[in-house]
Structure 1
Amino acid sequence: MTASARLAGVVPPLVTPLTPEYDVDTASLARLIQYQLSGGVDGVFVLGTSGEGTFLTDEQRQVVLETTVAEVAGQVPVLAGVIDTSTNRVAAHVSAALKAGVDGLVATAPFYAATHPAEIERHFARLSALAGETPVYAYDIPPRAGTKLPASLLTSLYEQGLIAGIKDSSGQDTSLRELVLSRREKRLDGFAIMTGSEVTVDSALAFGVDGVVPGLGNVDPAGYVRLYKAAVAGDADAARAEQDRLFRLFGIVNVADRSRMGASSAALGAFKAGLYLLGVVSCPLTAYPSIPLNDTEIEAVRPLLQRAGLH
């Protein structure tokens, strides 16, 4: 993938399978990648939110990067999250990801310390310089990064050649639509806009986004591929039907007892539980400090998989 080739289609943000000892389970990761490739995905994204990238050590991150690049073997682009609190820390992740041979980099704005738009611009300018010819994608996830990336800033970053596109996980459809309109009005045809929302993909594709980065795509990559193809073909009824099925499948994120764990633990635990029940990963453990699903909660995922046609 080059900076001139616009990212599109279905690019799931892969979970990071762990062993009972909390090491990266490379055999399960390889199976997960093959499951994605057989589902027809257009790319894979590792070390993002679903990949628990900020919870892993640098050594574990490198294992994920090297395993993924080797297993994908150039069949689809590999995007790597380089997410950390400061530009200098992100820069080290950029270097490691480039060394592993990834095809794209995904970064949030700096977080923890409050940042001004001018400082976010400096951040991406530095990352772009370090990345060279490898495209950099901004990741808009306000609940985690603490700031919303406005359309004006994103289009400016693209016009300066600092980013190739955006993964929008803001959950704000109005701002996403504003970004699509801004791209059209400014004729920024190469600027990739991907939604991170699993449950509104059909409508987002209808108003002009290029694809989806769905955490639920770990569990059902083929379903999202069917949804995307139907939408691109103009078959709104088929796209809506597939989205409705995936909407019900997304109910797996609600099986955990939220009185004892946070939303991230519940969602990531559900994705890993689904993959465990499908025989793709060997252990459904989530990284510290997340609380893993218990056996009862894991088993509660099974009927939702079955209702969605997954066995």
Structure 2
Amino acid sequence: MWQGVIPAVTTKFTPEGRLDAAEMQRCFQLQMEAGCDGLIACGSLGEGPMLSHEERLQVLKLTKEVTGPKPALLTVAEAGTREACQLAEAAAKAGADGLMVVPSTIYHTDARETAANLRAIAAAADLPVMIYSNRIAYRVDVTTDLLEELADDQRFVAVKESSDDIRRCTEILTRLGDRYDVLTGVDNLAFEALCAGAHGWVAGLVVAFPAETVAIYRLVKAGRIDEARSIYRWFRPLLDLDVSTYLVQNIKLVEALAIGSNDRCRAPRLPLAGERRAQVEAVVRKALETRPALPKV
């Protein structure tokens, strides 16, 4: 149902800290023009937890205006199941094509609680759901066993696999076949996951380098592995910026340098400064200087 490159877009702010609709529309459009297959609003990279429900619904509506017939998903990542269900229901009314759902972000649920949490949210929205499994960042592992348990609910259609274990993609596909679309959610494991059979890539650095991201995905799917690998090796230093406590600040700075956007964040985050900023700028400068020509695919 959801395959290809689906960016987890950033949320743009004005200097006063309000949502910057015009800049979001511009940046989102760059993704779609490059051939992306949908957009995910208000995830970790989109600073969703720093936004009110009302703001998240505004970003969703902007996202849907740009994606057109392609899917626009809203991320649901709440501490409590009640609040998650409220947001999920509101997203459905606001026109979301589906949800990306993170299990409870504060209390680290066990398997029984995780299943109950996910089922409640899916029922509240009655929309297709991508389960976000990220045991590193959120300390809740949606294992293959748990995916098998949830498979009886057809609203669960996909999993964003971010366990940081490349073996997990193969494990899910081997045991569950085509029951779920498996999308890799770790930028600097994307080539490996796609070669292992992942159906798509929920990408981060795509927001600054959409053409290169789409090219890697399409080349792998076309069996042109050497060409995809060559681009990926060039891309890796940038992709490593996604795997960091500072991924939001990192990627927003890359956007500022690569596509002329800005790196404003919602507090308590602040834009990068000092040595850390200089390091990211150096990575981006080198990437821009050595940017490869992309083959037709």
Query: Do the structures match in fold with TM over 0.5?
Result: yes
Residue aligning to 2:27 = 32
Measured against aligned partners, the alpha-carbon deviations of 1:102-145 in whole angstroms (never above 9, x if no partner) come to 1110111123223221221111221222222x201110111332
Contact between 2:235 and 2:287, CA under 8 Å: does it hold in 1? Answer: no
Q: Which consecutive segments of 4 or more residues in structure 1 shift more than 6 A?
A: none
1:252 deviates by 5.1
Q: Percent identical across equivalent pairs?
A: 27
**In 2 relative to 1, CA 66–300 (structure 1 residues): closer, same or farther, beyond 3 Å?**
same
Gaps of 5+ in 1: 1-5, 255-262
Contact between 1:274 and 1:305, CA under 8 Å: does it hold in 2? Answer: no
Contact between 1:28 and 1:280, CA under 8 Å: does it hold in 2? Answer: no
The answer on 1:105 being equivalent to 2:99 is yes
C-alpha distance in structure 2 between counterparts of 1:9 and 1:253, whole Å: 19
Residue aligning to 2:269 = 290
C-alpha distance in structure 2 between counterparts of 1:247 and 1:28, whole Å: 27
Q: Which amino acid aligns with 2:250?
A: A
Residue aligning to 2:291 = 309
Residue aligning to 1:223 = 212
Q: 2:145 aligns with which of 141, 145, 152?
A: 152
State the secondary structure of the residue aligned to 1:200.
Answer: helix
User: TM-score, normalised to structure 2's length?
Assistant: 0.90
Per mean C-alpha deviation after superposition, the further-off stretch among 112-121 and 43-52 is: 112-121
1:9 deviates by 0.6
Residue aligning to 2:108 = 114
Equivalent runs, 1:10-49 vs 2, <5 Å? 10-49=5-44
Contact between 2:187 and 2:242, CA under 8 Å: does it hold in 1? Answer: no
> How many matched pairs?
289
Measured against aligned partners, the alpha-carbon deviations of 1:1-54 in whole angstroms (never above 9, x if no partner) come to xxxxx2111001001111121111111100111110111101111111110101
Residue aligning to 2:157 = 164
Higher relative contact order (CA 8 A, sep 6+): 1
C-alpha distance in structure 2 between counterparts of 1:30 and 1:150, whole Å: 36
User: TM-score, normalised to structure 1's length?
Assistant: 0.86
Contact between 1:125 and 1:162, CA under 8 Å: does it hold in 2? Answer: no
Q: Which amino acid aligns with 1:106?
A: M
Q: Which amino acid aligns with 2:98?
A: G
Measured against aligned partners, the alpha-carbon deviations of 1:38-88 in whole angstroms (never above 9, x if no partner) come to 1110111111111010111222212211211123233x2111101111211
Contact between 1:231 and 1:239, CA under 8 Å: does it hold in 2? Answer: yes
Per mean C-alpha deviation after superposition, the further-off stretch among 285-294 and 232-241 is: 285-294
Q: Which amino acid aligns with 1:35?
A: L
1:309 deviates by 2.2
C-alpha distance in structure 1 between counterparts of 2:232 and 2:52, whole Å: 36
Contact between 1:201 and 1:212, CA under 8 Å: does it hold in 2? Answer: yes
Residue aligning to 1:264 = 245
Residue aligning to 1:260 = none
Q: Which amino acid aligns with 2:135?
A: P
Residue aligning to 1:274 = 254
